[in-house]
């Protein structure tokens, strides 16, 4: 499989799983969270799929396409472990969906970062809220794995429910 093939598979898994997560929380009140804005592609997708819902975005710095930059009052900019406690003070228990896409390029480092952030992300989520993550959070106290949507190969992306 070429890098072009794997990129297409990764983006398709991301889209299918995000759409599934959005459908799961369609009838619930609450905000959404995007961890790792990057170029803004998945933020743009969530913004379309969850029109009218507030999406709060976390990133170290803005590197997104100008059309994909969130409004200032929904942006937590800076180190995740400085912004997450602030967000917990603002939004505890109010999120019904979180997309965690905070990979650094180094696999072990990305897993460690996601697992370190997860307990704080859990504080932001309402019970029954869903998490789409590019890294595994298996075995963590607050998260229970959900079945991946049809066509998404296990290990390509992860889906959890906030217990």
Contact footprint for a second copy (CB under 8 A): 2-5, 7-8, 11-12, 14-15, 18, 39-42, 44-45, 47-49, 65, 67-68
Nearer to a second copy, 5 or 29 (CB): 5
CA atoms of 154 and 163, how far apart (whole Å): 21
CA of 109: how far to CAs of 11, 42, 154, 159, in Å? 21, 22, 20, 20
Contact (Cβ atoms closer than 8 angstroms) between residue 124 and residue 33:
yes
Cβ 69 to a second copy shortest distance, Å = 12
Give which of 7, 11, 16, 13 is closest to 155, Cα–Cα. 13
Task: Work out the angle between the directed axes of helices 107-124 and 80-91 (0-180°, nearest 10).
Answer: 20
Cβ 51 to a second copy shortest distance, Å = 11
Nearer to a second copy, 9 or 115 (CB): 9
Cβ 85 to a second copy shortest distance, Å = 30
Give which of 99, 112, 116, 117 is closest to 160, Cα–Cα. 99
Nearer to a second copy, 122 or 148 (CB): 148
Helix (H, G, I), strand (E, B) or coil at 32: strand
Residue 113 forms beta bridges with which residues? Answer: none
State phi, psi for 122 to the nearest 5 degrees. Answer: -60, -35
Cβ 3 to a second copy shortest distance, Å = 4
Nearer to a second copy, 50 or 102 (CB): 50
Cβ 46 to a second copy shortest distance, Å = 8
Nearer to a second copy, 27 or 48 (CB): 48
């Amino acid at each position: 499989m070429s890098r072009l093939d794997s990129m297409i598979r990764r983006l398709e898994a991301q889209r299918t799983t995000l759409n599934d997560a959005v459908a799961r929380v369609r009838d619930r009140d609450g905000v959404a969270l995007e961890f790792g804005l990057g170029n803004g592609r998945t933020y743009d997708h969530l913004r379309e799929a969850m029109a009218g819902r507030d999406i709060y975005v976390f990133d170290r710095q803005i590197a997104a396409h100008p059309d994909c930059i969130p409004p200032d009052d929904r942006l937590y900019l800076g180190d995740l472990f400085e912004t997450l406690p602030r967000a917990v003070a603002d939004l505890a228990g109010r999120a019904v969906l979180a997309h965690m896409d905070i990979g650094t390029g180094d696999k072990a480092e990305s897993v460690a970062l996601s697992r370190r952030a997860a307990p704080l992300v859990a504080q932001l989520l309402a019970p029954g809220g869903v998490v789409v993550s590019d890294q595994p959070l298996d075995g963590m106290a607050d998260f229970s794995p959900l079945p991946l949507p049809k066509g998404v190969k296990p290990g390509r992306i992860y889906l959890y429910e906030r217990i």
